[in-house]
Structure 1
Amino acid sequence: MPKYLQRLLLFSLLLGAIPVISLGVISYYIAKGDIETKVKEGNMQVLLQTQMRVEQVMKTLELTSIQYVNSALVTSSIAEQLTIDDFPKIRDLSKGLYNLQTVAGISDAYLISFDKDWAVSFKTFGTLTGSAEASTFQSYAKHQNSLFWVTSGANAKPSPAESTAAEPASEESPVTPQNTTRMVYKIPVVPTTSQPKGLLVVEMQNNQISNLLTQNNNLGDSYVLDRKGSNFLSNASADKYGEINAMVMERVKQEPQSSGFFNAYAGKKEFGVTYKQAYNGWMYISVVSIGDITAQSRKIAWITFIVCSVIFIFVGLAAFYGSRRMYSPIKRLFEFTKDIEVEGASSKDEFSSIEQRFRTLFSTEKQLQQQVKGHFVQLKEFFMLKLFTGQVSDAEFARRSDIFGFPSEWKHLGVLTLQIDSLHGTRYREHDRELLLFAINNIVGELIPAERRFSPLLHDQSQVTLLISESESEADVKRELYEAAESIKRKVYEFLQLPVSLGISRPFAKLGEAVRAHGEGLEALKSRINLGSEIIVHYDDIEAGKKGLEAAVYMQLKMHEDQVVGAMKLGDMNRVNEQFDKYMAAIVAKEVHANDYPVLMMQLISKIMQLVQEQGGQVKTVLGDRATMEHFMKLGTMEDIADWFRNDLFKPVNAFLNTQAESQYIDIAGQMVKLIHERFDQDISLESCAQTLNFHPVYLSRVFKKEIGINFSEYLADYRMNTAKQWLENTSWKISEIAEKLSYTNTTAFIRTFRKIVGTTPGQYREDHKRQ
């Protein structure tokens, strides 16, 4: 059997089998899910009905009890000392207790007074202390809540009472008689830390509460757990579902929810468990076997399997017949093209062979032309790039212009060259420049009609547009070019808020002059250094302003360069910036031509870089990638140039020189102190130290101040005065002799300095120390 026929047959079978199998599986699981959902909903409704019946009984009893406790008879009697002689009142109290039996299943009730030590029930009256359940009643009084229920079942140990607010019981858990549930009401309602005056205890039989539960074997077993997980109603399910009860309590503990449903395994059997937590913290639970639930869905599964199998057989027959019919035209096409030779052919099937043969047929010039049209825009821009680089002749352009849809007739041509002035002060960053130029190129393409221009393009950080004009006069052509440039500049600022400048070439007629015209536009843009940013300038205008650089201008600039370098050596950045401003002002004032700017400024750049090398640094390491000649040559405005000098050249060099100088500070300051100690009796000064140490005086002054904490002259004066004090104390030299030995030519100046530093005159100082 042919390969493709095999695949077609397999695909047809899969195409038919997948829906049939999916339909069967989905139908089974939907039926199973629907049955389980219905059982879940039914069980939840049963639990809700059971809860409502039980809670109705409990709340009715609570309401009746509250009315009884708040009656005038109880409130007046609870604080009285009753004896058997008070029979009428005891009878009325007992009668009121008996009336609480409006709710079925109440076996007994107790009215208790802690303060007066008596207890009344349906049939008895006596002292509380003499009662067998006195300790139980006392434990009820310690419970945290004023109204609560206490449970106890035959199959569970006595559990702490559960409150109406689902609060935990007190530490001393009250004990309740087996098979009963008690409602306890404190008299009066008091804070949990206080001792109540009395209690009302109503006792119900658990079997009466059990009768309220719904028992329907079709929906599983229903029972009630107290807050501790005990089946206090003594239902037989307590032992049967012990594992499930533990799962329910753990689930509620980890994920507190009032109700829910989950599947669980108990005794190697799967059950569906529905639970609902309600009044008193009791948990109503329904447990049903999953096997019973899914019994009906198994029947559906068998029916679905039989139906799907029959359908699948018919699908297989139809697939076999249909595949052969569908394969017949492919077979004919394969036989038709078998004579076409394909080099290196490797057929996986009939279609692969046919494809390879057709690829050979369509590898023609027409196919190449279609591929060229797919890259039409890029080819047009590439063609314009070749035009501006002088790689396209007039003959080649005439041959290609029809293909690209370029204008073919004109009187004059002109080139507009646009550059971004500066990104400083805008919301853009340097890495956005390429994207901005692309956006500008699109703006130009949409702004100027296609019949008035060739394709605009981007070339070397510039946007270039070749415009055509039908005007005869060159003056009119210049005006049209200027208006177009002004329109572009305005739109770019409107859409991008970006400062740009445009250079306009001289009008020309032949396409071969486009290279020269592009160069004229770039040359015109260099005048931004003189004229500022955001300009539109003709090449003719800058040609008229060219003049040579006078020797006097060069000498003046050289003087400013030396002052900038000198300030840089001193590390005084304020002076560096001040001298650099004068340097830039001198260039602008002398109207240096734009072409001379790089030559002049390279001299200053070289001197700054030489400073780095003199200090043992590597220029590339200190300055980084931006402070390069290549980057400097791309700057087009005076603002960008000044910013480059200050931030990319001066700052890193100053930081490097400061780092180098700091390592020499300590040694230099120590040498200066040593000179003072050796030459204090000579005419020593900061200048003489600078000459000895071969440093500039200003630099030494700054180093000394930083390391010693005071300036040079103050330290020298302090040292001389300390020496003078020793001589005044230990010698009989005259004050004039001491002044002369300390290199003071004027005794009066010595006395003035001594009194300023020591606080007294030399003579007074000698007298004071002789007395001591």
Structure 2
Amino acid sequence: MNRSYFKSKLFLRYIFSYLLILVVPLIIVTAFIYRNATRSLQSEIELSHINQLNQAKTIIDGRIKELNDMASRISYDERLTPYRVHDPYFSREAISALNNYKATSSIIGELFLYYYNDDRIYSSRGMSNLEVFASNYSFHNWTKNTLFHDLNKVKFPAMRPADLVNRTPSLQQSILAYIVPITPNNPNPHGTIMYFIPESELNRMIDSVLGSYHGLTYIFDNNGQILTSNGNERSLSTQEVKSLFILEPGIHNEVLNGKSHSIISVKSSENGWSYVTLMPSAQIFSNVLQVRSFIIMLLLISVAVGGAIALMLARMQYVPISELVKFANSTSRSKRPFGNELEGIRILLQEHSVRADLQEPYARNHVLMMLLKYGNTQGVSSDLLGSFDFTFESSHYFVVIIECDEFSNKQDESQNRQAIFHLFTQVSFPELSARAYSVELPQPNQLALIIGYDSDGKLQNFDHIRHIVEATRNNLLEMFDIHPVIGVGTCYSSISLLNQSYIEACSALETNISSHESITFFEKLFSTSEQDFWVPNHVLLKLSQSLKQGSFEVAERTISVAISELPTSLLSSQLLRFIVYDILNTMLKTASELGIHNLMHEVPPKITYNSLEELKQAFVNLASRICSQVEHDQKNEEHTLMDQIVLYIDSHYREHTLSLETISQEYSISPSHLSRSFKEKVGINFIQYIWQKRMNEVMHKLITTNDSLKDIIVQVGYLDTPNFIRKFKKETGYTPGQYRSLHIPEEKTGTLSDL
């Protein structure tokens, strides 16, 4: 504050006026602030804790779901059939398979496979008789007879509470036993998978999320049994513990064991488990004491220096704005000076908004790709879908794939492709009650459209679809003068079947390319006269395409449809065998085209089956092998490609023209796919990686050369010198000149400047 202000009588009158006005209500206002601050702080701590507990619940639910999925895979694993695990020759392979399954999850202490009424049990350590639960795994509260009964009678997955197990005479371990009947969801299971989960593993996962929390944590099953508990307070009575289970999800304040506690309760929708934590109120109010001390000190200072209250209030109002202005100056990319403090803050918010907008297209495309691949938006929050303005409320959905051979690696045509992509980012056809979302596919010359529409009854479904596709094609012809090749999938009434439509669109596009048609509808393929008892060619084409895409769900459904629609009552066994060979040949031919040549030895020379269900299961298992191999090969190819791209960036990061678009053109993949895959491979995004490479190179040259800073920055491909200096200081705390002075002797630095 300018001292000349105190020479003004008017200013002094204002000070005395503020003193009279503020001193009286100051105590009331201070008490009110203190009360609200304590409540707000307590609420923030409790809300933060409930979010952490929900995160812990989500992690544990995910791990339990992994165990259920593992049990499902084991039940279908040919190496672990009753015949193979009992066979002396194959038993080693079965034990090795169990050991591999166990190794996929860090929370599994041991894994057991048991078939009903067998006197032996199998684990990753080998085959044992049931006496192993009286010698090596002796539970305190779970007798061998009860354990044997549970292994043979449990119909649904069940978790046993943590129990002490005698591993050796001198070693005890607290273990939870999770029992899953196999085959899962089958009313008549034939065996059991039993997981031993060390209680310490669950506690470790909870501790890793809750962090510095000091209290007691319980996990109850849906019957109120304590599965596990963790914490430093274990003096609650049995009745008090039971009262925790019946609490509604949310935040509660209760007195337990004579102490006030803040209780957080959440419930899992996956398995009905309840997660409850007890936080002593004293832990919360220990933080409040700091606030109370500060407010009391502020009150005393304010009363003692009453004449300066007005000055202090003005200063207190200005301090937050001043801090924001400092932050804006340190992070803003703008070179022009700020007109005032609020202008600087506005520019900062605009720049952060621009950065978020740059990442939005890649996140949006990733969500839609998951929809095409899996046929649902499971795991994607409604808030995220809303932020992208996705609305999936139409009555019908189908997928269109557009391929334009005009696209190449030339810069202008790449820009043309991006213009088309942005055109269909979200386009509507009001006259057809349709809306489309574009999805950038890994292939640079392909684009997918997810189209939803509501039927008004005036047009047949196929005519409605045809009009939408033709309107899409006309837009491309009118605006870009290109001639696309289009494949159209079947229309479904549920968005969960979009992966089916996607595979069908791929099949139609593949047929389209070979037939040189502009538009091909999958449901109109092979509509020529075919014998009703043969598997239609379009079904075989869809099966082949699903295997090529590695989409097991679609392949399984296609096989089921093909088998179930066979008119077995009208076919001789010989003709039925020929039809079966038709399906098998399609699968083997596709596998051969994909480079998978090791399946022939698994196919018997003569196909025999006792029922169509058994035949279908054999084909499904074969499809699973092919799809798994395709996914494995795709991941390997992607990892290899990302390794090449990383090497390319390491060699070319000094070029200022290096960008996501130039690399996507160099390696013929879409920018969206490149951005997502690069971050999965390296751990940071593309821009951060290049910045770090350039930053490291600048730091090296500052120490090892006498080149000017401007020359060094240009040498590493960065053209905006002032902006680089600001970012350099933000990361290191020093300007480049200061950094150079700190790391080399002064006599060698010469007369160097930051510029």
Q: So what's the TM-score if we normalise by structure 1?
A: 0.31
Greater C-alpha radius of gyration: 1
